Amino acid sequence: MTSATRSDEWSIQDLAKAAGTTSRTLRHYGQLGLLLPSRIGANGYRYYDQNSLVRLQRILLLRELGLGLPAIAEVLNGHQDTTAALRAHLELLRQEQDRIRRQIESVTTTLHKTERGEQLMAAEVFDGFDHTKYKDEVIERWGKDAYESGDRWWRSLSEADKMAYQQTHIDIAADYGRARAAGRTPDSDEVQAIAQRHRDWLGDGWHGRQLTAEAFIGLGEMYVADMRFRKNYDVHGEGIAEFVRDAMKVYAEHRLR
């Protein structure tokens, strides 16, 4: 006996195709309790209704924003009002859209001025790359002097130095991802060497002030808890932020205490 698909529901294959994902991924979401089928037919097939579509959209949106599956589960469980949750997601997407638009305009301006041999302006080059958005958090965690000192250091850099500094962090994040994909553990020599580079990179921003074990561990925890930081790492694979946090903790406990 087979079960027919109603007009207001989708089979797992149809839903996966519409969402641009795979049936295996949807079954994995089901195993984690993120996306349960609305019913299971007599043939054992999974079927999903309109509420499932909305929930899957929310899952995919949160994945795009850089959250791992455990964090997504917490968000979904904490926002039972679907309409309010979608409004919150939409606002985050609009903020990200605006940031990307500004970056596109910034890079376009830099390209055109470089091609014409015109003078570059720092405000144009780094529009959309605003480090001051973390001002309040830095002050709260490490004090006003830490923020002002770091801000002076950042503004003292040339445009090339700023871009090189940002690229170094991108390279470090990618190396963490490659190491985890290769089966390395956070306490392995290879990963601890990356953590050393990470500490040195952060040390440049602290320009001479001591980066304590507590601060290094705290930064690692922030990379996991805050989606703005998390997405810089999880873009290289699911759970990389936790991998980085664990590597930083091992490094701090053995090298910074």
Question: What is the CATH classification number for the domain harbouring 169?
Answer: 1.10.490.50
pLDDT at 8: 79
Residue 170 and residue 233 in one domain? yes
pLDDT at 125 > cutoff 90: no
Q: Distance (Å, rounded) from C-alpha 201 to C-alpha 204?
A: 5
Name which residue leads in pLDDT, 174 or 154.
174
CB atoms closer than 10 angstroms to residue 22: 13
pLDDT at 245 > cutoff 50: yes
CB distance 101 to 109 below 8 Å: no
Cβ contacts of 36-44, under 8 Å, gap ≥ 24: 37/12, 38/9, 39/9, 41/2, 41/3, 42/1, 42/2, 42/3, 43/1, 43/2, 43/3
Residue 17 and residue 109 in one domain? no
Q: What is the pLDDT of residues 47-104, one digit of tens each?
A: 999 888 888 888 887 777 666 788 788 777 765 566 766 676 677 777 777 767 776 7
- The domain in which residue 100 lies consists of 79-128
pLDDT at 143: 61
Residue 192 and residue 251 in one domain? yes
Residue 197 and residue 156 in one domain? yes
- Among 128, 161, 188, the domain boundary falls at 128
The mean of the pLDDT values for the chain is 78
Count of domains for the chain: 3
Residue 93 and residue 181 in one domain? no
Mean pLDDT of 6-34: 87
CB distance 154 to 207 below 8 Å: no
Q: Distance (Å, rounded) from C-alpha 5 to C-alpha 99?
A: 42
Q: What is the pTM of this model?
A: 0.48
Please enumerate in sequence order all residues whose Cβ is within 8 A of that of 153, keeping only pairs 6 or more positions apart, or say none.
Answer: 205, 207
Is residue 163 included in any domain, yes or no?
Answer: yes
Residue 145 and residue 39 in one domain? no
Please name which of 132, 236, 140 lies closest in space to residue 194, comparing C-alpha atoms: 236
pLDDT at 72: 80
Q: What is the pLDDT of residues 95-117, one digit of tens each?
A: 777 767 776 776 776 677 677 77
- How is residue 49 written in tokens? 């209704």
Name which residue leads in pLDDT, 247 or 216.
247
How far is residue 47 from each of residues 9, 32, 33, 54, measured CA to CA in Å?
6, 17, 15, 14
Residue 138 and residue 229 in one domain? yes
CB atoms closer than 10 angstroms to residue 16: 19
Strand partners, 11: 47
CB distance 159 to 167 below 8 Å: no
